[in-house]
Amino acid sequence: MARCPLAPLDRTEENTLCRVTCGFANAASLHAEIRARLMTLGLIDDRYGQLELTDLGRQCAGELFARRLAADTSHNDNVVVLASLFPDRFSRSA
């Protein structure tokens, strides 16, 4: 399991952070406790019901995505989107 080096997250929190990163989550769609924990850790902000990553959240999400992508690229249809969000994390060198 990929781990955020900046904050210890369980798998559900990691998945929620991924959903926020990809724009698939708003404040009303998330479990209140998970949303509160990610906000307490300084990973996300609530901007009028729309969740956004903080700088720390962006760094953490980039690490998570890079580790998950390195572990298995066969199932992820969002690789292009993630690569555009985190180009420094997804460069493939020979």
pLDDT (tens, 9 = 90+) of the chain, 94 residues, equals 445 656 688 888 988 898 888 888 778 888 889 999 999 999 999 888 788 999 999 888 888 877 777 666 555 555 656 666 666 655 554 3
Adjacent-strand bridge partners of 51: 46
Predicted model pTM: 0.68
Q: Which helix (H) or strand (E) holds 63?
A: helix 55-71
The beta strands (E) that lie in 1-94 are given as 44-47, 50-53
Closest C-alpha among 13, 70, 63 to residue 39: 13
Residues in a beta bridge with 26: 50
